[in-house]
Each structure stands twice: as structure tokens, then as C-alpha cells.
Chain A
Amino acid sequence: MASPKIDPTLKKAAADGDAPLYAETVMIHPRTVKGTFRTWKWAAVAVLLAVYHLSPFLRWDRGPGAPSQAILVDMVGRRGYFFFLEIWPQEVYYLTGLLFIAAIALFFMSSLAGRVWCGFFCFQTVYTDLFMLVERLVVGDRAKRMALDRAPWSADKFGKKAVINLVWLVIAASCGVGFTLFFGDAPTMLTDIVTGNESAAVYGAIGVVGGACFLLAGYAREQVCLYMCPYSRFQSAMFDEHSLIIGYEEWRGEPRKPVRKGDSFENRGHCIDCRMCVTVCPTGIDIRDGIQMGCIGCALCIDACDAMMDKYKLPRGLITWDSIANQAARAAGGKGNIRLVRPRTIIYVALITLVGGLIVFSLASRKTTELNVLHERSPLYVQMSSGAIRNGYVLKVLNMVRQDRTFVLEVGGIDGATLSVVGGESNARSAELKVSPDVIGTYNVFVNAPLSALQGKRTPLVFTLRETSEGKVTRAESLFAAPDK
């Protein structure tokens, strides 16, 4: 912990075993560090923010009348667009599949290399890094920030805090705006948002997402990982003794001892107890205590420790990615080896392949027409003056492509049944249905059948819909109701 200032009375009470169970959290101000992993982390921040903010502006030509945004969730039009793909609401299972793959990929990553997601890619990490950068630019590094927090309120402190919060607000607002741009035409929306012409709902969404960003990355920080995030809790269940985690090589480091100039490293551990690994930690833990829940796997302690090792001409890697099995092997004097292929990782890869394959298969064989039949229930059936029975149906023809299509509707299963379409054919063997591009065509259809051809109260019947240009047939089953014979 970044030594929180504790009230002396509390210390005394703690010694007496009389301490309150509640301890106030102290803001953690990690020291800035330079190194390989810090560079990778900055790269991740840049790439992820670029993807997040630029992808709504990618264009994808879908022809006239269709939105030209590559990635778009059109809530009003009830369509999801992803480049070449256009998803209808009933196909939301593709999203479920994608989320499933994302979850398993998270497990897979955790079982291989610990919490790399948390340390490098999670938006909490990305925005926390960004917000801390703002603090560093305005105030300075760890010591200055801690000093400012301790200092009494003054014009200087107020000014610095105000600048920090303002910049945070701008970043948070851009986070909120970026989110909403996936739900409408990004360029027009952005103009409308800036000029104040967007709807209250959009500003509300920006407020909620941006507000969450501001509070979580600005003030809650590691508390999110420790107390709010469920993933951080169950990721440890994906670890085993062969998972590469960030660990302190205790066999090499202990016994730790501060070092003075000229001291030799004979008969002592390599850890010089400089506490650099602790001060750079964004969650304020001491990695030397072993693997623990607070570790988000950001690898900044590795950077910090390696720098110190270099300084003392010791080999790097006192803190490093290593598996628990390896550490144990090395402690016993052996040589560890890295095992990436394990039953656990094989199962995760198999699951990802399976679900990914299912998604690809179902996308490849995706139907472009769907026929839904709703049997009219009032009246269930009507007897005509000729004695024939008639049933009403509402047919919903889903034309899931962006072109006009013509279908031929026929009814089967009952001898002598004829079709009538409101606004179209009447008492015909087949009827032509024209459906506009990318819509659900709704048709009121009546089927007439002679009483003699019916099997009592319910007779099954089948509607077949033949697309005229490609000849593909879609079927839908329904029932024909009649009075009991």
C-alpha cells in the first residue's frame, strides 16, 4: 500500500484490538515507470482508443437507401450492420455467439498468461492510464501528487485540481460521444451533438457513459477491479500452476536486504527492497507477497524491477511472467519449462473453434427469406354461403435483402384449397406477393376449402413461398380450423 496516513488514535486502537472494521481508501498515485511493458501499454491505449473513436466513421456502401456506416446498431430501424453483414433483431444470437467467444477467449488468455486483458486491454485500464497521464502532466509524478493531496486547500491546489477535472471531463465526454456514434450516422450525429441539435436521449446516453468514465477512471480506479468487476474475481479460477502469471522469484530474491554501494550480493537475495515494484503498482499491492487478487497483470512492476536489476548489474527477471510450477522447480534447483498445451487450453481453443465454426456456418447458410404465418383467431373459421369453410391468416414475409423481390404463394395439404389475398388475387391456386427491399411484407390471406376435404376440427396445411428469380422455396406450416364434423 502507498502508506496511507493513519490517525494515531486508530493505530493505538488497532493495537488494542479495538479498531473499526472500516478503513478509508487512500488514493493511489503510482510512480511513472519506463520499460518494455509500459511501452506496450501505451501502444495498447493508442490502438484501442483509435479503434473505438474511428470505427464509427468507417464507411461501407450498401446501395441507395441503406445506411453507409460499416458498424452501426440501428435501434429505430431495428437492424445491426457489420460491414458485409446485416442482422435482423431475431438473429441476435450471432451477438450471443460473439459474446460467448469473447468470454472463452478471456478464459483462454487467462489460463495462458494471466490477466493480460485486465492489465493491457480493459477500458478501465486504458482510461485510468489516460487519466493518470493528465494528473502527471498537470501536477507531476507520484511524490508531487501525494504532496498535493496532503496539502491544505489553496488557490494553487484548487487550480490544479480544476484543470485535472476539466481535462478528465473532456476525455469522459468524448468517451460518451464515441459510444453513441455506433447508434447513428456518425458524421451527422457528431455535428448534431456539437451544435446541440441531438435528442435528449443521446445527450442522456453521453451523460451516463461519460459520467461512468469520469467517476470510474478518475476516482474509483483500482476499486473497480477490486470490488466491482466480476471478471477479476473469477479469472483466478482459470489459472493453474502452469499459467504464466506475474510473479516474484522468491527463491532468487530472498532474503531481501537494502544494498549500499560496494555491497556484494553473496549470501543474500537479489531483492534490494527498494519498493519500486510497490510504488509503480496501479492497485497498490506488493507483488512480492505472491499472486493475489489485486494484481491486474499490468507488468509495470517487471519494468520497475528490471530497471533496478540493470542498475546493479544483476540479471533481469526477478519479477517476471512465470508459472507457479516453474518457480517451484527453480526453487528446488531444477529448470522449469513452459507448458502452453494443457487440457485446459485445449478445451478453450476447442470451444472457440466450435462456436466460431457454428457462427460461420450459420452465416454462410443464412436464409434471406422468412415466412411467418399467424392464424386469425377471430373468427377462427367462417362458413361461406356455399358451405365451404374459410380461414384467415396473416402472412409476414421477411425480405432480408436489399432488393425488390416477388414471391409466389401456394397452399398445400388440403385438396381444392384456394387463396385470396387482400388487395390481390381472389380464390386462386396461387398468389403473387411483391415485397419491397429490406422489409417485412404483411399480407392478409384467406384460404377457402371445401368441407369434404377437411379432417374435422384441425387440418394441417402448408404455405409455400417460391422466390421467382432464384426459385428458392420457403415453407411454413399452419392449421386450418373447421367446425367439428
Chain B
Amino acid sequence: MATIEKDSVSGQNTTGHEWDGIKELNTPLPKWWVYVFWATVVWAVAYWFLYPSWPTVNGYLKGSLGYSSRGELANELDIQKKARSAWLSKIEASDVAAIEQDKDLLRYAMAGGKIAFNENCAACHGVGGVGAYGFPTLADDEWLWGGTLADIEQTIKFGVRNTNKDSRQSEMPKFGADGLLKDDQISAVADYVLSLASKAPAKGSAGETVFTENCVVCHGEDGSGQAALGAPALNNQIWLYKGTKDAIVAQVTKPKHGNMPAWSERLEPSTIKMLAVYVHNLGGGK
């Protein structure tokens, strides 16, 4: 039976249980531990009153400090916004050319533009404007719609081939699919385009005739393109849809056309300005 006795060594009571002569001490919890335990209880109760705690039928107890993590975030965002507003209002008030002239504004626009670019543009154009098949490289000096600061800003604002009324619009005819050119003509003009690209135009070839009759209107006699129409230059090794003969034939037969959203419908004017400056300074700006 349970007989509680005092242990002679430690001076503590035993639990009264005995197993084969082994008795267990009933040592009380250390005092400091008990105090800390009660302190946490007090802390918890105080917390209920100060901070949001218990759910109620229609919501929750808000606590007397009025704290909420959403509120804290909103507060922090507000502080950030205020810190930025001085710069952003300056950028909004300046035109893009003036931003590039001002060293401090340029630095801010490059940093802000980089972030906006990575968030909005890099999905298609790649980080740093590296480009991809069908998505033009923005780091080189060939521009479909012009590479001046104003051109770039215009393109970002209104986009390409979208529903915005100011959007860049143009389409290359489907020379093959609509029967405008025969297969052998297309093949010949593709050969001529390749000769243009390697800077050794095949003068007097059948392809040149086809090119002169059908393509020079937009792409120019020497194949240097025309930014106003979004007609790419053909006299260099930069290709949007690959520079093999097969790819050129496919493009002439049934052209692919990229499009781009009008970012003025989605982004702040200051962001668009920063983006224009950033893209203009990716290496190919004119």
C-alpha cells in the first residue's frame, strides 16, 4: 500500500509507490519553473485584452491596442510609398529624356525600371532583355518599332497589335497562304534575304526581283527595315523567328505576328517612364 515516507538523503517525500524496493521521490517542481509558468498564464490573459484573441459570432475580439497584421503591413507599405513619392513625383513630372540627363534620376529609374521589368516584362523578353524565339531581344540595337527613348516609351505605353486604339499595328501579308507568291518565288526570295543578311546581296537573282516587287515597300531596298511599320531589318544576323531558310520561307508563307499588351492600362505613368529608361539603357538604345 502507498506509504509516503521521507527520504533521508534528499529530505523529500516519496510517492509512496514501491517496485522491488525502488521508491520514487516526489520532488516538487523547481520554484523558478512554477513562477515562470504562472507568469506565462498572466501574460496570456493580458494578451487577450491587448491583442486580437478569441473568435466571436460575428468576428473576433479586437484587443485594446487595435493591432492587426494587415494594418501593420498597410502601415509599412505606406511608409515605403511616402519614402518613394519624392522620387516618383519627380519622375512623373519629367519627360524621359530629362530623366536620362539627370544622374540621380537616371540611377533611380534604372533601379526601379529593373524591378518593374523583372516583374512585368522578363516573362517574355527575358531577364536583362535577352529575348527568346518570337520575343525580341531588347539588349541589341535592332528595334522593330524604333529604339529611341520616345519610341520605346510609346511601345510600352500602347503595346503592339492589341485592342488599344493607339497600339502599334501592322501585319505582313500571308504571301504563301493567300496565294500572292508561288512556292518557288518564296524559296527564291528567302535565298535573297539570306544573302542580304550576310551583307552580300545576290544582285540580279530571281529572288531580288521578287523582293523588289513585294518586300521593299516595308523592309526597304537594302533590307534595313522600317520602324514606323514595325518591319524588321533583314540585313543582319538578328532574327526574331530564326534565320534558317526554312524559317524564312515559313515566315513569308504565313507570317507569325507577336503582340504586346498596352502597359498604360496596367502600370503607373512613372513606372512606364522608368521602364522606358531602363530598356533604352539595356545596351541597344538609340
- Which residues of A are at the interface with B, using a C-beta cutoff of 8 A? 7, 9-10, 12-13, 18-20, 376-379, 382-387, 390, 392, 420, 422-423, 444, 446
Contacts and interface: CB of A to CB of B under 8 A. Distances in A.
Given A7-B11, A13-B8, A384-B140, A378 B283 contact: no
B140 A9 contact: no
Contacts of A386: 141, 236
A428 B133 CA distance: 32
Given A376-B128, A382-B283, A392-B128, A422 B110 contact: yes
- Contact count band on B: 20 to 34
B9 A382 contact: no
Given A378-B130, A392-B128, A444-B110, A385 B11 contact: no
Given A420-B283, A422-B106, 17 more contacts: A13-B8, A377-B128, A379-B126, A379-B129, A379-B139, A382-B137, A384-B140, A384-B284, A385-B141, A385-B233, A386-B236, A390-B139, A390-B140, A422-B281, A423-B103, A423-B107, A444-B281
B110 A379 contact: no
B98 interface: no
Which of the listed residues B9, B10, B142 has the most CB atoms from chain A within 10 Å of its own CB?
A: B9
A424 to B, nearest CB: 9
A411 B139 CA distance: 21
B100 interface: yes
Which of the listed residues B107, B126, B141, B283 has the most CB atoms from chain A within 10 Å of its own CB?
A: B283
A51 B1 CA distance: 69
Given A382-B284, A422-B281, A13 B110 contact: no
Nearest to B281: A422
A107 B225 CA distance: 78
A423 to B, nearest CB: 5
B46 interface: no
Given A9-B9, A20-B9, A387-B237, A382 B281 contact: no
Report, nearest first, the 7 A-B pairs whose CB atoms are least far apart. A379-B130, A378-B128, A385-B236, A378-B127, A422-B281, A382-B139, A13-B9
A383 to B, nearest CB: 6
Contacts of A376: 128
Contacts of A385: 140-142, 233, 235-236, 238
Contacts of A377: 128
A19 B8 CA distance: 10
B140 A423 contact: no
Contact of A10 (B9, B100, B139, B142): B9
A378 B128 CA distance: 5
Contacts of A423: 100, 103, 106-107, 281
A359 B129 CA distance: 46
Contacts, number: 66
Nearest to B235: A385
Interface in B98-142: 100, 103, 106-107, 110, 126-131, 137, 139-142
Contact of B126 (A378, A383, A444): A378
Which of the listed residues A12, A384, A386 has the most CB atoms from chain B within 10 Å of its own CB?
A: A384
B9 A383 contact: no
A200 B11 CA distance: 47
Interface in B230-286: 233, 235-238, 281, 283-284
A156 to B, nearest CB: 24
Contacts of A384: 140-142, 284
A376 B142 CA distance: 20
Contacts of B103: 423
Which of the listed residues A382, A392, A423 has the most CB atoms from chain B within 10 Å of its own CB?
A: A382
Contacts of B131: 379
Contacts of B11: 7, 9
Contact of A392 (B142, B236, B283): B283
Contacts of A444: 110, 281
B283 A383 contact: no
Given A385-B142, A387-B236, A444-B110, A379 B137 contact: yes
B247 to A, nearest CB: 17
B144 to A, nearest CB: 12
A390 B238 CA distance: 13
Nearest to A376: B128
Nearest to A446: B283
Which of the listed residues A7, A383, A384, A385 has the most CB atoms from chain B within 10 Å of its own CB?
A: A385
A420 B139 CA distance: 13
A383 B237 contact: yes
B238 A19 contact: no
Contacts of A7: 11
A378 to B, nearest CB: 4
A244 B37 CA distance: 51
Which of the listed residues B10, B100, B139, B284 has the most CB atoms from chain A within 10 Å of its own CB?
A: B139
A378 B130 CA distance: 6
A444 B233 CA distance: 27
Given A9-B9, A20-B9, A379 B141 contact: no
Contacts of A9: 8-9, 11
Which of the listed residues A10, A20, A423 has the most CB atoms from chain B within 10 Å of its own CB?
A: A423
13 contacts: A9-B8, A10-B9, A379-B128, A379-B131, A382-B137, A384-B140, A385-B142, A387-B237, A390-B139, A422-B110, A422-B281, A423-B281, A446-B283
Contacts of B284: 382, 384
Contacts of B128: 376-379, 392
Contacts of A392: 128, 139, 283
Contact of B238 (A10, A383, A420): A383
Contacts of B8: 9, 12-13
Interface in B12-29: none
Which of the listed residues A12, A18, A20, A422 has the most CB atoms from chain B within 10 Å of its own CB?
A: A422
A175 B141 CA distance: 63
A422 B109 CA distance: 12
A19 B9 contact: yes
Contacts of A10: 9
